[in-house]
Structure formats: structure tokens, C-alpha cells
């Protein structure tokens, strides 16, 4: 289960180029002004911002559709749509045939379309009225479309980052955490700024979706600029050369040969994937449903879930930034730590049914922050290590397979979250 890390991949790169050209490769160009890093950071924030906008405006949707279990339905619809889309991409030979740039551009465009549904429907049809469940169905459909977009963008971005030095994968996941922090900050500001009534909820929700739409357009432009940067093109050329060498040795991949290669990649990274699956099963079965619906505070009232979500997002960002400081190379230890997170279940259960002290704000807040910290750190480490454990021409596929494991964890966690209600 151990890996040789990035050094092994660099040796692989060197071997490929030496075999092709009988000369060592030129050094990679510099990432001038850290433009590529910033773009991958933005893309990481971008593919989670729509989801964060939907779940952070859950009080608005709960007001509009009081008879619907909004939070948990949203989780299931989004995760299952993303999972099905990823299965089509991976198993359906999609990662081999279609360029990452096509998937990312298509996904970002779908994000914009799905996000436009909510403010347009509010302005033209709902207009702040409650109980219009036809609009609720359209909202869930838009969320499902956003889940499909997430599969396209997240799979493409993580796959592309897997071909680059490890710092770019860290940038992606720091961006995902920053997305949560941004939306939580917007939620706190708007709750304090707008009146606590239907009009205030409507204005704040429209603000979330407007900011998300603008951000998606910025991501779309920035990605197409970054895709032309010398450092990105450098690693693309090395990948293409490696693929050419593989075709010369084995011939072009047919559908059956591709699936055989895919299973070989899965075999190499299965324990990384198992760790990711467990991480998100635990996280999503607790966050956000448990925090927004199952624990309560007489002192903080409706501020309590908002502050808990903000605490999770801040510590998730801290965790996803830490691999830039220390990246462990012992994958066995990282996977074991992922299994160890199952201890959050009895601890959070004690916060519902345990001794009086456990049912107060302090233990819940500490556990929520630890949930975010471990989620961020372990996720980023595993997502960095997995693509580096295979040859560079399979790094994109390894990254996308890891996203598939991640989304299976998300979908499973969203279903398990219902058990807190029992």
C-alpha cells in the first residue's frame, strides 16, 4: 500500500523522455507570478461554490417549502447525480477519449445554467411565496444538474492537477475549503445585515446565487487562460509523449483494453480510494444535516448551525493548507487515520443522547472543528499521493478515479445522514 511519491513519478517522466529523445528533459518553466497556482485554487473554490450556495441558503428554501426535508433531499440529489455522471465518464471510456478541457468548460457552463435557475425562478414565478412545490421540484432538478457539472469540473480539474507537481493539487483542495469559508462569511454577513424575515431571506439567497454565477464566469475565463500557460503545456507534452510510447509498445487502446488498464490503475490506488471514501462517508453523514437539524442551542438559537458550519469550513481550510507545510509519505498511516475518523460517530451520538455536558455547545463545537480539520488534511494528502503512484500518462485517470471514490463517499454519507433522524 506504500508509494514512492512524487520522486517515483519524476523518475518515470525522465525515463519516458530519455527513451524518446535520448536526452534528459529540459527543466519545467516557472509558474510566473504563481498564476497557475491561483487558477487551480480558484477552480477548486469554483466547483464547490454552487453546492455551498445551495446548502447555505437552506433556511430560505426551508421557508419556501416547509413540508419538504430540504437539506437531506438536496444532499442526496446532488451526490447521486454527480456519482452517475462520474460513472459514465470513467467506466464509459470517457477519460480516455475526451479532453479534460472539454469536460471542464462544459461543466462550468452547466454550473452557470443551474445557478441561474434559482434567482430567475424567484423573480419570475415564486416571488417569495411559500408552498409552491412545483418550484421545489425545479430547484431539485437544478441542483441535480449542478451535481453533473460538479462531476465534469471536479473530475477534470483534479485529473489535470494530478499530472502537475503536488503543490497544484494542494491548491485545488485549499480552494475547495476557501469556497466554504467564503459562503459561510457571506451567510453571517447577510444574516446580520438583512432583516430576519422573508424579505431578508430572499435578498440574501439571491446574493449567494449572484456571487456564485459571477465566480463561475471568472473561473471559466481563468481556466482557458491557464490551460495555455508554459508550465501546464510542459507537463501536457510529457504526458502526450508517454502516451505515444505506450501506444508504440501496446497499440491503440480499444474499449476492452482501456477497461483492463483502468482496473490496473484502480488496483494501484484502491487503498487511497478506500481512505477517501471513508473520510467523506463520515463527514457528509454528519455535515451539514446533523449540524443544521439535530443539535440546538437555547443561547445561540438559529445562529448556532451557521456558526458550526463556519467553524467546520474554517478548519477544513486549515487542514487543506497544512500539506504545503508537511506531507507524510507513509500512506498506511494516512489510511489508518481515515479509518480512525469512524470514532466521530459515537462522539457525536453522545452529543445527542449522552451526559448533559456533551449536549452543550462546547463539545459539539470542538468536535465540529476537528471534523473539518481531519477532513481537509487527510483528503488533500490522499489526493496528492494517489496520482503520483502511477505513471504520468495515467495520473489524470487516477485523479478521476479518486474523485469517483470521493463521490461514492459523499453519496453514501448523504444517505447515512438520514439515520440521525431515527
The domain limits of the chain are 6-23+34-247+255-420
**Which pLDDT does position 171 carry in this prediction?**
95
SS3 163: coil
How far is Cα 101 from Cα 46, in angstroms, rounded to an integer?
15
Q: What is the pLDDT of residue 250?
A: 66
* Residue 215 or 95, more confident: 215
Task: Check if the beta carbon of residue 377 is closer than 8 Å to that of residue 251.
Answer: no
Strand, helix or coil for residue 288: coil
Structure confidence at residue 279 as a pLDDT band (50, 70, 90): very high
Distance CA 327, CA 346 (A): 29
Nearest to 154 by CA among 172, 170, 174: 172
> What pLDDT does residue 320 have?
93
- The answer, yes or no, to whether residue 94 has pLDDT greater than 60, is no
Q: Tell whether domain 6-23+34-247+255-420 is in CATH 1.20.1250.20.
A: yes
CA dist 69 → 133, 146, 259, 274, 286 (Å) = 12, 19, 40, 30, 16
Give CA–CA dist 163/167, Å, rounded: 11
Quote the pLDDT of residue 35: 92
319-367 per-position pLDDT tens digit: 999 999 999 988 999 999 999 999 999 998 888 887 887 878 888 899 9
Average pLDDT, the chain: 84
| CA distances (Å), origin 58, targets 157, 169, 178, 366 | 28, 30, 20, 24
Residue 222: Cβ within 10 Å count? 18
User: Which pLDDT belongs to residue 2?
Assistant: 46
Does residue 255 surpass a pLDDT of 60? no
CA contacts within 13 A on the Cβ side of 135: 22
Angle at 333 between CA 43 and CA 290, to 5 degrees: 60
| pLDDT at residue 415 in the model | 82
Cα–chain-centroid distance for residue 396? Answer: 16
Cα 172 to Cα 386: distance, rounded to the nearest angstrom: 15
Rounded CA separation 153/276 (Å):
18
pLDDT tens per residue, range 19-73: 444 456 678 888 888 999 999 999 999 988 898 888 778 778 888 999 888 877 8
Query: Which pLDDT belongs to residue 172?
Result: 95
More confident residue, 121 or 93: 121
Does the pLDDT value for residue 153 go beyond 70?
Answer: yes
Q: What is the dihedral of CA 170, 171, 175, 177, to 10 degrees?
A: 20
Model confidence at 315: pLDDT above 90:
yes
Q: Higher confidence at residue 407 or residue 173?
A: 173
Amino acid at each position: 500500500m506504500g508509494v514512492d511519491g512524487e520522486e517515483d513519478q519524476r523518475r518515470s517522466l525522465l525515463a519516458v523522455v530519455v527513451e524518446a529523445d535520448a536526452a534528459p528533459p529540459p527543466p519545467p518553466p516557472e509558474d510566473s507570478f504563481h498564476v497557475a497556482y491561483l487558477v487551480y485554487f480558484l477552480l477548486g473554490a469554483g466547483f464547490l461554490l454552487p453546492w455551498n450556495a445551495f446548502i447555505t441558503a437552506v433556511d430560505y428554501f426551508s421557508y419556501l417549502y416547509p413540508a419538504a426535508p430540504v437539506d437531506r433531499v438536496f444532499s442526496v440529489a446532488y451526490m447521486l447525480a454527480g456519482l452517475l455522471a462520474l460513472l459514465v465518464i470513467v467506466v464509459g471510456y470517457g477519460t480516455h477519449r475526451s479532453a479534460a478541457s472539454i469536460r471542464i468548460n462544459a461543466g462550468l457552463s452547466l454550473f452557470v445554467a443551474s445557478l441561474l435557475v434559482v434567482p430567475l425562478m424567484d423573480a419570475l414565478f415564486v416571488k417569495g411565496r411559500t408552498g409552491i412545490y412545483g418550484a421545489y421540484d425545479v430547484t431539485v432538478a437544478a441542483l441535480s444538474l449542478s451535481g453533473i457539472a460538479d462531476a465534469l469540473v471536479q473530475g477534470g480539474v483534479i485529473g489535470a492537477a494530478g499530472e502537475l507537481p503536488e503543490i497544484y493539487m494542494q491548491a485545488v483542495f485549499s480552494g475547495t475549503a476557501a469556497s466554504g469559508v467564503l459562503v459561510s462569511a457571506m451567510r453571517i454577513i447577510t444574516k446580520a445585515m438583512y432583516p430576519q424575515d422573508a424579505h431578508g431571506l430572499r435578498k440574501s439567497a439571491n446574493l449567494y446565487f449572484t456571487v456564485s454565477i459571477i465566480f463561475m464566469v471568472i473561473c471559466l475565463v481563468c481556466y482557458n487562460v491557464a490551460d495555455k500557460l508554459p508550465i501546464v503545456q510542459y507537463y501536457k507534452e510529457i504526458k502526450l509523449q508517454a502516451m505515444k510510447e505506450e501506444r508504440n509498445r501496446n497499440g491503440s487502446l480499444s474499449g476492452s483494453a482501456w477497461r483492463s488498464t483502468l482496473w490496473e490503475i484502480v488496483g494501484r490506488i484502491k487503498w487511497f480510494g478506500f481512505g477517501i471514501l471513508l473520510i467523506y462517508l463520515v463527514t457528509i453523514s454528519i455535515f451539514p444535516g446533523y449540524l443544521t437539524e439535530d443539535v440546538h442551542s437555547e443561547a445561540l438559537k438559529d445562529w448556532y448551525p451557521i456558526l458550526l458550519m463556519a467553524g467546520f469550513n474554517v478548519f477544513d481550510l486549515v487542514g487543506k493548507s497544512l500539506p504545503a507545510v508537511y506531507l507524510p509519505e507513509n500512506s498506511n498511516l494516512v489510511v489508518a487515520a481515515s479509518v480512525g475518523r469512524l470514532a466521530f460517530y459515537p462522539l457525536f451520538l453522545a452529543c445527542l443522547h449522552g451526559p448533559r455536558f456533551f449536549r452543550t455547545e462546547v463539545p459539539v463545537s470542538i468536535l465540529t472543528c476537528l471534523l473539518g480539520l481531519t477532513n481537509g488534511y487527510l483528503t488533500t494528502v490522499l489526493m496528492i499521493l494517489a496520482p503520483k503512484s502511477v505513471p504520468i500518462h495515467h495520473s489524470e485517470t487516477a485523479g478521476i478515479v479518486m474523485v469517483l471514490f470521493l463521490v461514492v463517499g459523499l453519496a453514501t454519507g448523504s444517505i447515512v445522514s438520514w439515520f440521525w433522524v431515527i
